[in-house]
Amino acid sequence: MVRHGQATPFEKETDRLSPLGEKQSRKLAEFWIRNNVVFDEVVSGSLVRQRRTAEIIGRCYADAGLSWPGHRINEDLNEFDGTGILNILAPKLAEQNTDFRQLLEKARDNRTSPDRNRHFQRMFEAVMDPWMSGALISPHVEPWESFRARVTRGIDEIISRSDGSRRVAVFTSGGPIGATVQRVFNAPPAIGIEINWRVRNCSVTEFLYSRGRITLDMFNAIPHLDEPDLHSFR
């Protein structure tokens, strides 16, 4: 499972790769090509940032004269509805909770400041907790349990298609990766989001699987991002 390259969360159009995200994707392709990594299947969610990461890597393989499977789309691998959480649930929570309203105002006031990531993260974590617990809901925002269920369905669909040894590249986001690691260890659901916060852009998390079984082999690896300025979380 590969988290997409860096996107543009603080811009008007958030679902696209930044120039850094495109560079991260090319670096992963170069690393795989140097190490003779080939895939039997490529799957991505339907989000632009997920598909674009797969497309850049596929183009690098083609330019190198190597085989790259045409990737298929599985919407079950999409990220949780971060836009809905921020635009619908966060204002709703701010009406109920003075402390959160202050966090939300600080995040908005610092959208262009050097500290924007820190203020955004504090606010986002604070609204995620009631969303996950079911205390904060809206008919227009996918609930946490529904998100976990569809990610499980998406991963199970990939596993069920394999009748032998196959290597599958899955281009997705931090939330589905965190939820899958949480599932593998049968950890409390909240651990999935804690893991999500640590998943780096364009990192690789590897699982070994067979029908009915999946185990973690490697988490959040970035050997291909060999310069500090290539590292990002958001």
Reported as a single tens digit per residue, the pLDDT across 53-94 is 999 999 999 999 999 998 999 999 999 999 999 999 999 999
pLDDT at 163: 66
Question: Running DSSP on this structure, what letter comes out for residue 215?
Answer: E
Contacts of 80 (CB under 8 A, 6+ apart): 142, 144, 147, 175
C-alpha 84/C-alpha 175 separation (Å) is 15
Work out the pLDDT band at 164, boundaries 50, 70, 90.
low
Residues 143, 69 contacting (CB under 8 angstroms) = no
pTM above 0.75, yes or no: yes
Q: What is the CATH code of the structural domain delimited by 2-79+166-230?
A: 3.40.50.1240
C-alpha 201/C-alpha 21 separation (Å) is 8
Nearest to 77 by CA among 108, 41, 112, 102: 41
Is the predicted pLDDT of residue 181 greater than 80, yes or no?
A: yes
Reported as a single tens digit per residue, the pLDDT across 135-151 is 999 999 999 999 999 99
Residues 144, 132 contacting (CB under 8 angstroms) = yes
Mean pLDDT of 228-232: 94
pLDDT at 12: 76
Nearest to 219 by CA among 193, 200, 191, 234: 200
Quote the crossing angle between the two packed helices 174-184 and 190-198, to the nearest 10°: 130
C-alpha 183/C-alpha 148 separation (Å) is 9
Q: What is the share, in percent, of the chain residues with pLDDT greater than 90?
A: 85
Is the predicted pLDDT of residue 162 greater than 90, yes or no?
A: no
Q: Which two tokens stand for residue 41?
A: 């299947």
C-alpha 222/C-alpha 28 separation (Å) is 8
Question: Which sequence spans correspond to the domains of the chain?
Answer: 2-79+166-230, 82-133
C-alpha 128/C-alpha 193 separation (Å) is 9
pLDDT at 34: 97
DSSP-assigned states of every residue in 103-148: HHHHHHHTTTSTTHHHHHHHHHHHHHHHHHHTSS--TTS--HHHHH
Reported as a single tens digit per residue, the pLDDT across 25-61 is 999 999 999 999 999 999 999 999 999 999 999 999 9
C-alpha 88/C-alpha 75 separation (Å) is 22
Residues 44, 50 contacting (CB under 8 angstroms) = yes
Position with higher pLDDT, 198 vs 162: 198
